[in-house]
Structure 1
């Protein structure tokens, strides 16, 4: 069955990341819907802290009870297939879960680097399990052991800085430009901070990795970088659940939707976050976009339930925040369309702002959840009041009639 209450619309949200939690919490504000969140882990993962997990400075997880509305049912499990025609999802354990509407928010993770030796000898860091796998490897390696971090986007920069601040001998292999998103002024600040931490930055057009071995990485220009531990942060991919389920995807495997985040195949499937490919909107995969996509996906579902036309989705960016160890960071301000500005905030203020962003993102999810429980409670109270009033009105005449009936004792 799609839901246990015939008066409620059953909604399943696949994925408990930033977008999925925001969508579930927004949907839970309505007492006429029943929301189930399906996620493979029992805890919420703070992906923007995974480099800290690898470095041992943060657990990068939060209990769902702190960020998820009480009205959202959490089902710990993995969806293996979406049966759109049957309006149900199939779970890894063989069970099925029906739905009236589905929110597809499976997020992103590591992608196959297709570089010889990378799958065997490199450690990706895009998921909780990957970061947890890397942590003991670093602990077991001697303090002076060379560490190579491949990829110079935010994850690579943050990981390199985090480990170098702890005294590790780190080489950051860029495979191109250091911090390609950053304005050149911000890029210079990052380069200076990394140099101060002792990070060797290898950048330029011929620095792509062509092979990873047990103790080194080989570059396109023939250079060999010593690496007892190689951390891989280059590139992200999305789960192939949509493609395996016969739904239309883009070249990256993201679910293709119209401008309202509705699947081009099925009006009862709505996507949010990194796994969505909305028409006319190519937002950067990020937490910043996910927390905006989530509520909009929920509103699209609610509009469709009401028979109204959903509004087109939109994403506005403020910039990119990168930690450079625990004592420094940079916030690269941007235009709303995600083009980097000259303006940035660096050093200790940058670190403080990055920490504030990390904490406030979790806080934002929690506030949305509390609002959901409060608003739904008010709706339930109003509904109960109406029902009580109706019952009293019906019972009034009956009671009045009974007052004239003699009791057995009289």
Structure 2
């Protein structure tokens, strides 16, 4: 039992060198670097501890931001026995043993903080298995996940546990961590200022990764200070965190779309590049850029859609990486184009009206009459051929009889739609004149 669940079993064997990350593990919550938004006096965890009322939690955040450390320290702060399991390696029989041991421990007056790493790996039925033990106080559950709990965890579990969002460590946080590591090592890292910044960039907000990189640098035998290029040659850069089918995918495409809509070409190029660096399919990006052209630019710049299609076709002919520049051209063009959702809004309003009015017939004067019967009942009677009318405009009604004429399309005074608005105003005046 202890071999499976006792955290002491995970410690290095006597005499084995302890990893730097383990040697620098905080001894109390005040030593935790970062996460002040949740651990501070105004944060949710700080407030819970001040009130002495810690509840079950789900710690949601990227790798290396302190989820395990915070859970361990919460147990120490509240005098609970800390038990750690991983959803990857734990089955139902193991869970039963954990709950039974916690029940015995509780009967002896000792509570249990059960830390479940990768809790999203448990299926829905397994997640339900925690509920009765949370409700009767057998365990205080602290789950850790890198995935969005809204999608990965049962509603019943979420209703019994507060979600705490942990953030990736900032460069300032990682610099503090680096200084703490140098103090532990007893010497400064042999890096120039730029190389030190590069090391922190490579960690990408992951404290554990930062300490692992520092250990590698500290092990080098060198009597001189290394620059940025020398560091890059000796260390492999970490791949940026990007899940092409998960939440990060949707977060980044949302950032790209909103940067284009917000007319910021630099931000749009940045998110476009982030997605490419993460391995995104450029064809997906070409399709989404075309959608942006029709949704957010529309007729304010009719050329925008053509630019997207041309860039898409250019990519198909050139492939990567050359064709990616064609898509970058589209990104910048869209960001700088005048914006309008006039047609998009009009289309949605027209669809709503079509649903509301059901099966109303068109007015008879605009219906064709290919048979005698149809002519006799009035199909086509009174139709005015616009080309024969003054100004080429008859001003007839084309909506169903009895339906009040709506206005769906109201172009803004931006881009090419300024000209379209002039045309709408012109035809509106002519129609009013015909109706007098």
Q: TM-score normalized by structure 1?
A: 0.28
Higher helix share: 2
Q: TM-score normalized by structure 2?
A: 0.27
For CA contacts below 8 A with separation 6 or more, give which structure has more relative contact order: 1
Higher strand share: 1
